[in-house]
Copies of this chain bind each other. A is one copy, B any other.
């Protein structure tokens, strides 16, 4: 039995299951059965974070944890920090799950998606398989042919701050697919979106720094403590896969479609720094015309007014300011001397950069309060 105490649905309940995420969310909000969710890929870092947050979600219940070749392994053996939750991991997705969160290597979700859709399960994919709109981009950035290119048209890029209306619309249809954004992509897109929307991006250099958890949990030589500690290095120069998402979204925001000059050819360089969580993207921008600090302040204030998880801050943010929370913070400044604009964004790569953002999109899709299950404050020091 892989579920929390809410248990699996009876046949009668399943028969009466509403057809769309929105209907299902409405029932949960009205005091009915919480939405039954499954986590596929529950044994990794992102899986753990989904469990941590969903276990306390007021309108969702964990209906299944799924990991390859797991036959009821206690969660305590896999994620000792979550040992107080009496959960087990199996190798099959329960049929009565209503939404499945997928934390899988790239290419796998696209191959398995029919299995979930055929059961009427909503898919929130935390991998890249449904993030890009143009199938050709998969060849460019991931070196594979997408097996289900026709699904890319309707899948929603799950960044609620930019695609909330699409998520709501998708929640009114059965068979929704959400492609949850990458961690670097979220940090970078949110840091640059107000400039992109104003058509200001002329030349964009993004220099990003990430904690190690973004590279996953599998032991590797370059993630060994002795290699990472007391060291900084760049990696993936010119070829990091998140460039595809970043350029797609910045182009999409451009007032002149497909013509945002800076959106083609973003220079993106990620670094590994000796910490576990956190991403900082420093975006160095040459603008298409001079921008004053006052205009900059206004652009960012307008862009993020009313957003529960975005703060425009007055001093350069540190990654530690958001650890463990779903917050994104951004600081933008014009440099009179060089004429450039600098925008710095931070988030926790496992929360707003992965599990938290996926839950945020899940909430919007189901018509639940957007911050349900995501109210934890950051943990510092």
The reply to whether the CB of A340 lies closer than 8 angstroms to some CB of chain B is: yes
B275 and A271 contacting across the interface, CB-CB below 8 Å: no
Residues of B within 8 A of A340 (CB): 205, 267
Query: A225 is contacted by which of B224, B234, B265 (Cβ under 8 Å)?
Result: B224
For chain A, give the interface size range: 35 or more
Residues of B within 8 A of A81 (CB): 320-323, 377-380
Expressed in whole angstroms, the minimum distance between the Cβ of A226 and any Cβ of chain B is 4
B378 and A316 contacting across the interface, CB-CB below 8 Å: no
Complex alpha-carbon distance, A203 and B269, angstroms: 17
Query: A221 is contacted by which of B219, B277, B323 (Cβ under 8 Å)?
Result: B219
Answer whether A377 and B273 are a contact pair too, CB < 8 Å, given A224-B224, A233-B316, A265-B337: no
A237 and B207 contacting across the interface, CB-CB below 8 Å: no
The reply to whether the CB of A165 lies closer than 8 angstroms to some CB of chain B is: no
Q: Which residue of B lies closest to A280 (CB)?
A: B232
The reply to whether the CB of A82 lies closer than 8 angstroms to some CB of chain B is: yes
Complex alpha-carbon distance, A377 and B296, angstroms: 39
Residues of B within 8 A of A80 (CB): 315, 317-318, 321, 380
Q: Mark A211-248, 1 if CB is under 8 A from B, else 0.
A: 11100010111011111111111110110000000000
Complex alpha-carbon distance, A321 and B229, angstroms: 12
Query: A282 is contacted by which of B211, B213, B269, B286 (Cβ under 8 Å)?
Result: B269
Complex alpha-carbon distance, A56 and B284, angstroms: 37
Answer whether A226 and B217 are a contact pair too, CB < 8 Å, given A83-B321, A237-B333: yes
A342 and B224 contacting across the interface, CB-CB below 8 Å: no
Query: A238 is contacted by which of B45, B203, B333 (Cβ under 8 Å)?
Result: B333
A232 and B84 contacting across the interface, CB-CB below 8 Å: no
Binding site for B on A (CB under 8 A): 45, 48, 52, 55-56, 79-85, 203, 205, 207, 209, 211-213, 217, 219-221, 223-235, 237-238, 265-267, 269, 271, 273-278, 280, 282, 284, 286, 311, 313, 315-324, 327, 333, 335, 337-340, 342, 344, 346, 375-381
